[in-house]
Amino acid sequence: MFPHYLDAMLDQKPHPAPPRIGIISLGCPKALVDSERIITKLRAEGYDLASSYDGADVVIVNTCGFLDSAKAESLDVIGEAMQENGRVIVTGCMGGDENAIRAIHPNVLSVSGPHQYEAVVNAVHEASPPPHDPFIDLVPEAGLHLTPRHYAYLKISEGCHNRCSFCIIPQLRGDLVSRAANDVMYEAERLARAGVKELLVISQDTSAYGLDLKYAESTWNGKPVAARMLDLCENLATLDMWIRLHYVYPYPHVDGVIPLMAEGKILPYLDIPFQHASPDILKAMKRPAHGEKTLDRINQWRSDCPDLTLRSTFIVGFPGETDDDVELLLDWLDAAQLDRVGCFKYEAVAGAPANELANPVDEDEKTDRWERVMELQREISERKLATKVGQTMDVIIDELDSEGALGRTRGDAPDVDGSVFLDGDFDVEPGDIVQVTITESDDFDLWAKRIS
């Protein structure tokens, strides 16, 4: 063995013992399988299993609620666990009736119903945080990411409850399934600890977050957090990172997050996939919130938060789209003066209901419409960026190349929006947030000099 290796080995602190979890599984084989899943997950995270009350840091009781006698037995076992250990998490069939359990055992740490593995595992994390040993773990605490170290995507739900006619996501991924708010918050916290400076909140429809959970509360660091977009934004804002919202639909409750943006708590940035402006096309697309008066809303948002950056995507050449629809879209874009716009030519996706619609648009016509939208938006973007010359703003550094550093303003998401070039500046690192003065602009990008 190399001497330095030996020194390094001797220098290492002894690993703390992992937390030990006791589990009592009552009821039928289905409940037993639920218990097995829970302990498999906890064991994979590094927890040890305890075979007695006094050796356990926390005890899970997986209850049965099938018959009155089974309920009575469940309550007795919870009572015994409280008496012998005192840190008890209740789950399973009887957990569906939290009031009945808390009426007799008010101090149990958490109550969840059957199959709510994630809630049980979260409750264990809360009661006894998962072990993490950077010397032996193959996976860092914040998980593995394909993004640079300073930003990360935070997915808050799976699936979608909308039924846009051009889309097959709900067929592929099912209806909306939101993550519990505390699960999202614990992940965000781990990412912050791992050095992430910017979180990009994503889902298929971010404004619908929590709808399927009826906005249920869960416990994060001892405080209740609701699965609702506004609450989530408020809680994420406490983590001292840039928080950027993607895929937000213009429902009225979105107005509630604008003050958080105006106060600087989350980034003044909304990515809203409007997809079109013609009411007829939006209706044929079956877009969520297609009846909203979006121009009025945009004007109000901008008056409440003048720094707001709006990004959107549009589809041209949807079946049945007429010249009038395209004129309407162009007029709308001219009035809305969105900061960033992506535009796609409609493509039929196998299985999408829109394929059945009459009057498909010819490919050349689609290209012509796409070019008109892109040219208008290029002009808008060029004009808007020119007004930023001379302004001072924060920039997050993404990378350095042979010409210097490049980064993004608060109004630019990675990969899809523009860049800020700090030519000749090599004295920064990815993830640094620096102050710059904007010196130049073109159609989509900015150039700047650092002032701090």
Nearer to ligand SF4, 162 or 439 (CB): 162
Of residues 206 and 309, the one with the C-beta less far from ligand SF4: 206
Span of 118-126, 164-172, 210-218, 258-266 interacting with ligand SF4 by CB under 6 A = 164-172
Per CB under 6 A, contacts with ligand SF4 among 259-298 are 288
Select the span of 21-29, 38-46, 161-169, 308-316 touching ligand SF4 (CB under 6 A): 161-169
164 counts as binding ligand SF4 under rule CB under 6 A = yes
- Binding residues for ligand SF4, how many (CB under 6 A)? 10
Binding mask 141-160 for ligand SF4 (x = CB under 6 A): -------------------x
Choice between 145 and 345, CB closer to ligand SF4 = 345
165 is a contact residue toward ligand SF4 (CB under 6 A): no
| Residue 321 CB, nearest approach to ligand SF4 (Å) | 17
Q: Which is nearer to ligand SF4, 56 or 281 (CB)?
A: 281
Residue 445 one-letter amino acid: D
Stretch that binds ligand SF4, among 15-23, 167-175, 195-203, 293-301 (CB under 6 A): 167-175
CB of 160 to ligand SF4, least distance (A): 3
Closest CB to ligand SF4 among 167 and 343?
A: 167
Question: Which CB sits closer to ligand SF4, 168 or 335?
Answer: 168
With binding defined as CB under 6 A, does residue 230 bind ligand SF4? no
Among 41, 79, 96, 162, binds ligand SF4 (CB under 6 A): 162
Residue selected from 123, 167, 185, 267 as contacting ligand SF4 according to rule CB under 6 A: 167
Q: Footprint of ligand SF4 on this chain (CB under 6 A)?
A: 160, 162-164, 167, 169-170, 204-205, 288
